[in-house]
Amino acid sequence: MRVYNFAAGPSTLPEDVLKEAQRDMLDFNGTGMSITEMSHRSKAFMAVNEEANSLLRELMNIPDEYAVLFVQGGASQQFAAVPLNLMTSGKADYIVTGNFAKKAWEEGLKYGEANVIASSADKNFTYIPDVKTLNYTKGASYLHITANNTIFGTRYREFPTPEAPLAADMSSNILSEEIDVKKFGLIYAGAQKNIAPAGVTIVIVRKDLLGKQSPVCPTMLCYETQAKNDSLYNTPPCFCIYMAMLTFRHLKKLGGVKAVQQVNEYKAKLLYDFIDNSAFYTNSVQEKYRSLMNVPFVTRDAETDAKFVKEATAAGLVSLKGHRLVGGMRASIYNAMPVEGVKALIAFMKKFELENA
Ligand SMILES: *Cc1c(COP(=O)(O)O)cnc(C)c1O
């Protein structure tokens, strides 16, 4: 039996996509072999690589002036790749809105002057700093932000508009809501939250930013090299790219990002409304900045939280334990979480409240 899986990442994938992958596992497209067994230079795989690329372009409305890359190393590798490719002036700005944002900044410090120009650490990352009153560093090469903060459950509702390129980690909200790619110099996202199994990372980079990497930038981290080789400089994570292609097809069939966003807003509203109307559960994120994807909440104490997680698991609602930095619970309700999953969670929460309030 399938459970409702609220894991923050790797996370639940659309059941249709998993079934298709299962069907293809022994014989992909009449080749008599699995996609995991064939050369990455084979016609069959090259077609997958191309389709994944063009579907993502279509779904996100990515202009031709941007390269779309499929790389490895996770979003964490991008924390280094960003300064190595883009920190041309030796300095860059960062906004610290959570754990991953802090890690990105700390990695940036290794390569030059990485300035924190705003942070929400003062209120335990329960909000996003005002993007209208930022003091950018003169000559900064880019501004790095984390668009959705997976652990703390916050998201940017509007984006900063620095003169320098805006670089955004969208690991936990890519394809969950419409964004205007033209506002960004760079977008990157690990696939394992909203797209595919762990192992592939999406990089969307404006082409005029290519070729300016540091002389010590490792070849594998160099965006220009990856772009010139259509992400096939070396063996790519073939299976993950194939799975990403299936998810992109699935999203297109659902009506694209606009349609998916509407469902995401509906799911999130159900859950936040329930929490806000309850005297038993609390979400402490400022309303305006609440994430559509990650919803942290607590009961009155850690003991009751632990009981909640245990009983929810037994009821087929799994991976609800909050991150150790926040405690309590976290429901990650990515694109692939059905509305029924959120409704089942709310029904369980009601029952638990009645029994434990
Ligand atoms: C999960 C996550 C990361 C880390 O991703 P890895 O692929 O494990 O390196 C970074 N940033 C955000 C916003 C995330 O949600």
| Best probe residue, ligand 1, of 76, 105, 148, 323 (max atoms within 8 Å of C-beta) | 76
The string of pLDDT tens digits covering residues 224-267 is: 999 999 999 999 999 999 999 999 999 999 999 999 999 999 99
From start to end of 305-345, where are the E strands? Answer: 317-318, 329-332
CA of 346 to the centre of ligand 1 (A): 27
The encoded tokens of residue 197 equal 């199994």
CA of 328 to the centre of ligand 1 (A): 20
- Rounded to 5 degrees, φ, ψ at 240 are -65, -40
CA of 51 to the centre of ligand 1 (A): 25
| Alpha-carbon span 186 to 171, nearest angstrom | 13
Does the Cβ of 78 fall within 6 Å of ligand 1? Answer: no
Residues in the chain: 357
Closest by CA to 149, choosing from 164, 171, 178, is 171
pLDDT given at position 303: 97
Q: How many other CB atoms are found less than 10 A from the CB of residue 97?
A: 27
User: Using CA positions, which residue lies closest to atom 5 of ligand 1?
Assistant: 75
pLDDT given at position 51: 98
Does the Cβ of 74 fall within 6 Å of ligand 1? Answer: yes
CA of 296 to the centre of ligand 1 (A): 17
pLDDT given at position 304: 98
Distances from the Cα of 57 to the Cα of 66, 68, 121, 123, 306, angstroms:
9, 8, 35, 37, 42
User: Using CA positions, which residue lies closest to atom 2 of ligand 1?
Assistant: 171
User: Using CA positions, which residue lies closest to atom 14 of ligand 1?
Assistant: 171
pLDDT given at position 92: 98
Atom of ligand 1 nearest to the CA of 78: 9
Give the burial string for 102-130 (b: 16+ CB within 10 Å, else e). bbbbebbeebbbbbebbbbeeeebbbbbe
| Terminal Cα distance for the chain, rounded | 31
Burial of 66 from C-beta contacts in 10 A (0-12 / 13-18 / 19+): buried
Task: Give one DSSP letter per residue of 211-232, joined into a string.
Answer: T---TT--GGG-HHHHHHTTT-
Q: Torsion angle of alpha carbons 348, 349, 355, 356, nearest 10°?
A: 150
pLDDT given at position 1: 86
The encoded tokens of residue 335 equal 């694109």
User: Using CA positions, which residue lies closest to atom 13 of ligand 1?
Assistant: 171
Spans of the chain below 50 pLDDT: none
- Rounded to 5 degrees, φ, ψ at 183 are -75, -10
| Best probe residue, ligand 1, of 169, 188, 202 (max atoms within 8 Å of C-beta) | 169
Task: Give one DSSP letter per residue of 234-281, joined into a string.
Answer: S---HHHHHHHHHHHHHHHHTTHHHHHHHHHHHHHHHHHHHHHT-SS-
Residue 297 pairs with which residues in a beta bridge? 329
